[in-house]
Structure 1
Amino acid sequence: MSSDAPVGARPPAGKTFFGHPRALSTLFLTEMWERFSFYGMRAILVLYLTAAVADGGLDIGESSANAVYGTYNAMVYLMALPGGWVADRLIGARRSVLWGGVVIAAGHYVMAIPTGWSVFAGMALIVLGTGLLKPNISTMVGDLYERDSPRRDAGFSIFYMGINLGAFIAPLITGFLGEKINWHLGFGAAAVGMTFGVLQYVLGRRNLGDAGARPADPLLGADRRRALTRIGVASVVVLAALLVLLLAGWFTVDTVVNLLTVVTVLVTVGYFARILTDREISDTERSRMKAYVWLFVFAASFWLIYDQAGSVLNIFAADQTDRSVGGFTFPASWLQSVNPILIIIGAPLAAALWLKLGHRVSTPTKFAVGLVLNGLSFVLMAAAARAAVGGDLVSPLWLVAVYAIQVAGELSLSPVGLSATTKLAPVKYASQMLGLWFLATAVGDAIGGQVARLAGAWSQPVYFLTFGLASVVLGLAAVMFTRQIRHLMAGIH
């Protein structure tokens, strides 16, 4: 039987995990702890940035805090591109995941240091580490299946459940420690979680077989030395640019955020141009990449709205919801656990649904459903904001309902998008294509961080209604282009 798995990968045999390769359990648990650390820190980040200095925060203002949050998320996913390249050309996905986990843990430990600068230094390390880990662990999941297997979407949905198990537990722990005791103690809990993830990955590596063991397209000899030299030079240039900004007095939060937003968009355009003009990929692969451009735009638009849960909606939870239960006011960040617990419940149902439907529902159609549902969540949020006009505290059930709608949209788009990326990827760009998928989140978050500034300038009902309706319209437009996109996908469903 022939296999379309990426070059160098052989799905391990032996015991199974929910009917899937046993290696999925190792990757599931590694991703669970990595997401514990990521979402645990993220749940309290904006609240820490906006908290008064007297309360242990940085007091930088909601507008700038929302932009920092969006840009930080963007950088996390932007670094997935070089992270995928490092795996493809230098050290392989397996070692990239290991070293990424180590650097992420170090970043969280730095954030636990109770000083202002430690947060930004720690975030920089987390960005670098996540770039190595995030795309490559997903590539390894893809290595476990044949490229067009119907079980592939189901496997990614189970993997997605691991992501959300960590995301559910994390805010409950870091939120309580951060909001009720000390912000840096909350960041420290995230560090411990990532440490568990690294240890679990090392202990479970025997399950992985050949998955991620070797670079897909390794650089050798002079080419390798030349690439390492260029990396060194680029690093020096970046550090020099930061030094210039600092000495010129331009090194402000807003300046850096705006600069990184522009960089994210330019990198995206440049990377697509590079792949589409690469003469080493076949005409079929190029056609599939043209289809992927559409999916990318849809995904970026989805994340622009969706990831405001940790910024605009998190601040709404802190300032405008009644969180008192029996005399206890629970942390606002606890509401960040609603989304992942709903995904944990819904992911197996989505996996079963996609397996039953098989190829009868196309990937573009699933993306369109995700966009429409995402937009409707913000339309409902507009009603919640209107109920809070005048200073009234509203029930947190408004946010629960908003997150429920978003989860339905996410399960239609995100795990399916991961799977589609591995199926549409040119062989030459296997790991890097996973980086490109995460770049959709980077673009959405970077632009979303700038858009979130409008939440303070516009009335909240107008803000939520405007972007909610825009997403619904885009989703309906996606339905109209489904046939053309499927044609470009050249036999991939």
Structure 2
Amino acid sequence: MATTNTAAPNIQGNIFGQKPALFVLFFTEMWERFSYYGMRVLLVVFLVKVAFGDSPWDRADALALYGIYTGFVYFTPMIGGIIADKYIGYRKAVLAGALIMTLGHASMALEIDWAFYLGLLLLIIGNGLFKPNISSIVGQLYDKEPELKDGAYTIFYMGINAGAFLGIMLCSYYGESADWGYSYGFGLAGIFMLIGLVQFFFAQGIFGRIGLAPSELQAYDDGVANAAAVEPDGAILDAHLAKGTKASSADLPEVSTGDGQEGPRAIRWGIIGTVIAAVVYFLIVTFMDAQPNALQTFSRQFMPPIIIGAVIAFVGWIVSDKSLLKIERDRVWSIIVFSFFIVFFWWAFEQAGGSMTIFALDYTDRTLDAGSASTFRIANTLLTVVPVMVLTYVLLKLFSITFKHYSVANLVLALAFVIVWVLIGIMLYEQFTTTEPEVPAGWFQIFNSLFIICFAPAFAKLWEKKISWLKAGPVKFAMGLILLGIGFAILALGAMSIPDGAKTASVSMFWLIAAYLFHTLGELCISPVGLSYVSKLAPVRLIGLMFGVFFVANFIANFAAGLTGSYIEPIAEQVGLSGFFLIFAAVPITAGLVFISISGWMKKMMHGIE
């Protein structure tokens, strides 16, 4: 393994024109997303079907917990990024986060109430360390080759969706199966998180000095940068001058730092706030009344005012920075406006793991007759086997290039794929030998990842075309919101036959699949575009903080998704499930139209950024 002062092995060859090091990150992220989505797909189903051997939870309670968990998952990365930047480095943050998440999944597999809550807390903390920092390593890997960076992130994004696809497929099948059970589903998530951890640990030398802690990168004489760090394949990383040359002030980047107090203040209050929130959350769900009314009280009465106050303080703190120039201040405001509207998108989109899972579980006809069972078996076999064959091919390519230097990491990956193929074989065998197989409720969520893989290249080409009205970021955002709303309108149409207040029904699977199609098309308009605009609009000295604004927007949206979903029963009793889903159609479409109406003002605030 490479140390602080040694270079990575000079590994020759590439995979699809990209560095082998990228695919170490690809598989690490793939197994982490396997574990995250594999657990998430089971969370609400487990609580409303089984819970902890006692009576199952009410839907409102399960969805409240879902919102609290997914909300904090998107809050802690802001803190984890700061910790990695300032103290421990990206690689140690990834390793620590993966270890903590492995322990969290193992704890949940016990199916004991206190261990379950502890597991969720560990997943929240671990994700905060892991999620932002593995992406940072991808960026640094291509610092000197920016022309390859877009392609690298596209491949990395495919790894994210491949992991989500496999995690949802396998964890939902084994977790919801009467022959296996939820411990197996939660356990699988933990096993593959552990595999990702071990693989990354033994292959991290391939990154050279990328991702090490600031203290490990300290190679300066008399406070002046004059040492070069070697990147894999011989490229120079994070050095302004080659070793042995004299640095002058003109060689160093010119970056305004404001009053110098922003970093320490953000770190101090960010850590305090996160620790307090995590402790209070754990105490509430563990020691208060076992009736999840405690969760609903926390979700509905405490969190909204806390979020509103925190957002006002956070935004005020940013825009009151006296060092911001007029153009910078306008662009910061445009990021805040983008973040405001993205809340509406993720608020509705994240119903996938909440109310849409309830719809799949209790209101969708998932039992197959002889004819439909044959069609499902063939389609599911193709959907499962073809992607895993492609991933296995990528693994073999990585073997051929890196096995000599990183044999342990490669053998761990090989073991992971053996396990995946065995699990797929068992699943398909059981499905083919069951007379009337039942589709798992979580199975429908695979379509989001599948549609992303299918349509992402087409959208990438669309953005490259010189279509004037498509160039503006607000228009792309508006398209995403409207497409998402159309998806919920389709779902509302499918729910029209369900009587008001009904607890069960059997509508066609078509409605859920069609909804996921439009949701994914909307995601492709918003998710990559939003991150791109933050990087373009944010002042250099505030870029990490402004990405934090986006994380906070996701935190609010995910929490609000669970909170709103927890009202599914009272709303359905009044206006039916169709009316409930129409809310998620009307709000994003309205937000999209409003965004279009202010696009001219936004263009002025962006000051030439397209």
The TM-score, its normalising length taken from structure 2, stands at 0.70
Q: Report percent identity of matched pairs.
A: 34
Q: 2:577 aligns with which of 460, 464, 479?
A: 460
Moved more, 157-166 or 320-329: 157-166
1:268 paired with 2:311, answer yes
Q: 2:337 aligns with which of 283, 288, 294?
A: 294
The amino acid across from 1:317 in the alignment is A
Q: 1:315, 1:59 → 2: CA distance?
A: 14
Corresponding residue SS for 2:174: helix
Moved more, 395-404 or 236-245: 236-245
> 1:151·1:355 contact (CA, 8 Å) conserved in 2?
no
> 1:105·1:194 contact (CA, 8 Å) conserved in 2?
yes
Q: 2:597, 2:306 → 1: CA distance?
A: 32
Q: 2:39, 2:172 → 1: CA distance?
A: 9
Corresponding residue SS for 1:329: coil
> 1:157·1:348 contact (CA, 8 Å) conserved in 2?
no
Cα 1:230–1:375, aligned 2, differ >3 Å: closer, same or farther? closer
Q: Indicate the residue corresponding to 1:9 in structure 2.
A: none
Deviation at 1:92, TM superposition (A): 2.9
Query: For this pair of structures, how many residues does the alignment match?
Result: 478
Deviation at 1:237, TM superposition (A): 5.5
1:312 paired with 2:355, answer yes
1:407-486 correspondence runs (5 A): 407-458=520-571, 459-486=576-603
Q: 2:510 aligns with which of 380, 397, 400?
A: 397
Q: 1:36, 1:207 → 2: CA distance?
A: 23
Q: 2:77 aligns with which of 58, 77, 80?
A: 80
Cα 1:104–1:300, aligned 2, differ >3 Å: closer, same or farther? same
Q: 1:253 aligns with which of 285, 289, 295?
A: 295
Unaligned regions of 5+ residues in structure 2, if any?
1-9, 215-237, 239-254, 374-435
Moved more, 472-481 or 283-292: 283-292
Q: Indicate the residue corresponding to 2:119 in structure 1.
A: 122
Q: Higher relative contact order by CA 8 Å / sep ≥ 6: 1 or 2?
A: 1
Corresponding residue SS for 1:177: helix
1:104-115 correspondence runs (5 A): 104-115=101-112
The amino acid across from 2:294 in the alignment is T
Q: 2:129, 2:162 → 1: CA distance?
A: 21
Cα 1:135–1:223, aligned 2, differ >3 Å: closer, same or farther? closer
1:25 paired with 2:33, answer no
Deviation at 1:281, TM superposition (A): 4.6
Deviations 1:355-414 (A, max 9, x none): 445996232221111000011111111111113336541111210000000000001111
Cα 1:248–1:454, aligned 2, differ >3 Å: closer, same or farther? closer
Moved more, 436-445 or 152-161: 152-161
Deviation at 1:194, TM superposition (A): 1.1
Cα 1:224–1:62, aligned 2, differ >3 Å: closer, same or farther? closer
Corresponding residue SS for 2:119: helix
What value does the CA root-mean-square deviation take over the aligned residues? 3.5
> 1:34·1:197 contact (CA, 8 Å) conserved in 2?
yes
Corresponding residue SS for 1:353: helix
Q: Indicate the residue corresponding to 1:345 in structure 2.
A: 454
- Considering only CA atoms, is the larger Rg found in Structure 1 or Structure 2? 2
Q: 1:240, 1:339 → 2: CA distance?
A: 34
The amino acid across from 1:270 in the alignment is A
Q: 1:234, 1:477 → 2: CA distance?
A: 34
Q: 1:373 aligns with which of 483, 492, 499?
A: 483
Deviation at 1:440, TM superposition (A): 1.6
The TM-score, its normalising length taken from structure 1, stands at 0.86
Q: Indicate the residue corresponding to 1:184 in structure 2.
A: 183
> 2:141·2:207 contact (CA, 8 Å) conserved in 1?
no
Moved more, 236-245 or 108-117: 236-245
> 1:50·1:62 contact (CA, 8 Å) conserved in 2?
yes
> 1:70·1:448 contact (CA, 8 Å) conserved in 2?
yes
Deviation at 1:421, TM superposition (A): 2.5
Unaligned regions of 5+ residues in structure 1, if any?
1-11
Deviation at 1:294, TM superposition (A): 1.2
Deviation at 1:152, TM superposition (A): 5.6
